Amino acid sequence: MFEPAETEADVLKIAVSLPRREAVSNGDFIPLEKLEVSLSEGARFDAVFVSGLSPEQSQSLAQRCADLDVDLIVFESPSNHVSAIEDVVINMTDKLFSDEMPDNIDLIDIRYINQCSDCLFAFNNKASALYFLEEQDLGSVIGGVYLAHGNTELTEFETTNSELLNHFSDSGFLCSSFHYFGRSECTILLGIKRGG
């Protein structure tokens, strides 16, 4: 009978800025050197997904985003693996904008992990994530996101969930889903709270 009207508030707006990219399939790509200016000129976003910031850029951009009430989500890699960060940011963004089922990952999940963490580490394969978790002494793993790609079997999906959760703090949580067309083996994002 009546279809609900889609309002501007219903449309997810994510700015993406990655050092080696010139475009993304979902979200609004903004080159790093133009990001702060674009935000200052009134471009409105729910979140900014970024990597490759210097400490000065990070501090300045964090203040600008705080002033505008925009979530700044900085993706890092413990081994400075730029391709892993790129894969994770693109896969996360694509999943957020897709209608792919299950549709159980939302920006609020990533936002919450970001707010509870001191750093977010990106991994594009299970082995590197598990190696990091076994060796890391930075702090507690308080949350994460795992996206299985391609034709991952349910048993493999469940096993990976268990293996990751074995390294999380007692109150840690893992948001898991499937993203069939994801780049790389899988997508893993881990939130670390230092010193815990």
Residue-wise pLDDT tens digits, 42-70: 778 999 999 988 888 888 888 888 889 99
d(CA 152, CA 144): 19
Buried b (16+ CB within 10 A) or exposed e, 38-53: bbeeebebbbbbbbbb
* Local structure of residue 154 (DSSP, 8 states): H
What are the boundaries of each domain within the chain?
8-194
Looking at residue 4, its pLDDT comes to 52
* Local structure of residue 51 (DSSP, 8 states): -
Number of residues in the chain: 196
Looking at residue 143, its pLDDT comes to 96
d(CA 139, CA 10): 36
pTM above 0.85, yes or no: yes
Give residue-wise pLDDT tens across range 142-190.
999 999 999 899 999 999 999 999 999 999 999 999 999 999 999 999 9
